[in-house]
Copies of this chain bind each other. A is one copy, B any other.
Amino acid sequence: MNSIRQIACMLLAVLLLVCLIVGELLWLNELLAERMPDDSDINDGFEAYEMRLDGVWEELSCFPVPESESNASATVSFENTWHAERTYGGTRSHEGIDIMADLDKSGYYPVLSMTDGTVEKVGWLEKGGWRIGIRSANGNYYYYAHLHSYGKEWQAGDRVYAGEILGYMGDSGYGEEGTTGQFPVHLHVGIYIPLGADQEMAINPYWMLRYLENRKLSFSF
């Protein structure tokens, strides 16, 4: 009797363990199926991204630097330096496009808002210098950096219209408040789209700027 009871105990223990293993495996399988992205998830991701990009294209209305009516040499130029390496403040990639002033004069070229929107951030940043950030109706963020000065005393929440003067191109930044002259006069343009709950993603503004080149406003400066 004693040995039969022992065999029964052993069988029970084995059965219990087998049940535990099978249960665990089924649960893990479910977890895998639930959390593994399949092709359609990936395509949904791209589609959401594509719709976001489309929202940027739709709201872009003018190039951020106007054409000068009075000075034929007051031109600008830019290249596709997207993700080129920057070294100030640690190695990092360049999340924007630099529009270079062909006349290296700080405070000379107006900087215009490419879109309608609302001022979200304004003031000094160590890397960006005097900067202004505009949030558009589609939820995208347009970042203009290294300004010489502002077009008016912008406050967070101010309404901005496409083509309005945000400020003047300069060479501020790369140091404590008021630092200038660390690089040639240029405008850094960054565009960020919302991604997921609490993230923003920088997108390459280069081809958008190429598109806007044919949509320049004319100012007298």
Return chain B residues, CB-CB under 8 Å to A203: 50
The residues of B that contact A84 with a CB separation of less than 8 Å are none
A6 at the interface (CB under 8 A from B): yes
Bound-state CA distance A218–B31 (Å) is 60
| Nearest CB in chain B: distance from A173 CB, A | 26
- CB of A204 within 8 A of chain B? yes
Interface segment, one of A20-28, A106-114, A183-191:
A20-28
- Cα distance A2–B1 when bound, in Å? 13
Chain B residues with CB under 8 Å of A204's CB are 50, 54
Instruction: Tell me if A154 is interfacial: C-beta within 8 Å of chain B.
Output: no
Residues of B within 8 A of A161 (CB): none
1/0 per position for A199-215, CB-CB distance to B under 8 A?
00101101100110010
Residue A45 lies at the interface, judged by CB distance under 8 Å to chain B: yes
In the complex formed, the residue of B with least CB distance to A208 is B207
The quantity of this chain's copies bound in the complex is 2
Q: Are A6 and B17 in contact (CB under 8 A)?
A: no
The residue of chain B having its C-beta at the shortest distance from the C-beta of A14 within the complex is B13
Q: Does A72 contact B (CB under 8 A)?
A: no
Whether B201 contacts A207 by the Cβ 8 Å rule is no
Within 8 A of B (CB), among A23-51: 24-25, 28, 31-32, 35-37, 42-43, 45-46, 49-50
Please report A residues at the B interface, Cβ cutoff 8 Å.
2-3, 6-7, 9-10, 13-14, 17-18, 20-21, 24-25, 28, 31-32, 35-37, 42-43, 45-46, 49-50, 54, 57, 80, 82, 201, 203-204, 206-207, 210-211, 214
Please name 5 further chain A to chain B contacts, defined as beta carbons within 8 Å, in addition to the given A31-B32, A42-B45, sorted by A numbering. A6-B10, A21-B24, A36-B36, A46-B49, A54-B207
User: Which 10 residue pairs of A and B lie closest in terms of their CB atoms, listed nearest first?
Assistant: A10-B10, A214-B214, A57-B207, A211-B211, A17-B17, A6-B6, A28-B28, A21-B21, A3-B3, A37-B37
